[in-house]
Amino acid sequence: MTEEQRFLREAIALARANIGNGGRPFGAVVVRNGEPIATGVNEILATNDPTAHAEMTAIRAASRKLASPDLSGCTVYASGQPCPMCMAAMRLAGVTRVVYAYSNEDGAPFGLSTAAIYEDLAKPFADQSMTIRHVPVQLGDEAHLYAEWSDAQSKQRQVHGARKPGCK
């Protein structure tokens, strides 16, 4: 069995165990240099947190374990095809590679496909199902928020030395 097959089977086993706990059928494993760092399952039903997809809980656990938001060099093994939120989260965290077993096509007959969400989010903002509205800020006498942050960063650097750039 390849490393890829082994970790995918582990992700699927986590998903299966989550069904046994009344949860949704999704599990994920974060791996770096061939070693599993953290795992996650879908915890929406247990926590009411709509963002608690398996990949997200695994990413959060990995970042706690590594004490860093930077998951460069990590592979995420997911039992099911990641949704756009998880895909973007992995991208933001610097995850290098994601491997999944069950596809959206596999999930569709069971209401477990996120293909429609991919399609919706691919549309221009004005055409998406969620209303997205930009209200440009009127600065008046106030400082530009980002200039203020940039100044604060410069002062910190002067005090503490250079810091590595973060993500948003």
Question: Which tokens in the block code for residue 140?
Answer: 């008046």
Is the CB of 39 or the CB of 81 nearer to a copy of itself?
81
| Least distance CB 162 / a copy of itself (angstroms) | 14
Are 24 and 38 within 8 A, CB to CB? no
Q: Of residues 112-151, which lie at the interface with a copy of itself (CB under 8 A)? A: 112, 114, 117, 120-122, 128-137, 144-150
Coil vs helix vs strand at 99? strand
Are 28 and 40 within 8 A, CB to CB? yes
Q: Which helix (H) or strand (E) holds 13?
A: helix 3-20
| Least distance CB 129 / a copy of itself (angstroms) | 7
Q: Of residues 77-116, which lie at the interface with a copy of itself (CB under 8 A)? A: 79-81, 83-85, 87-103, 106-107, 109-112, 114
Q: 55, 105, 119, 142: which one is catalytic?
A: 55
Q: Which one, of 56, 1, 69, 48, lies nearest residue 26 by Cα?
A: 56
Q: Please report, as a single letter, which amino acid is at residue 10.
A: E
Q: Is 55 a catalytic residue?
A: yes
| Least distance CB 13 / a copy of itself (angstroms) | 10
Rule CB under 8 A: is residue 39 a binding residue for a copy of itself?
Answer: no
Rule CB under 8 A: is residue 64 a binding residue for a copy of itself?
Answer: yes
Is the CB of 35 or the CB of 50 nearer to a copy of itself?
50
| Least distance CB 52 / a copy of itself (angstroms) | 8
Are 97 and 77 within 8 A, CB to CB? no
C-alpha distances in Å from residue 37, one per residue of 43, 69, 146: 19, 14, 35
Q: Which residues are catalytic?
A: 55
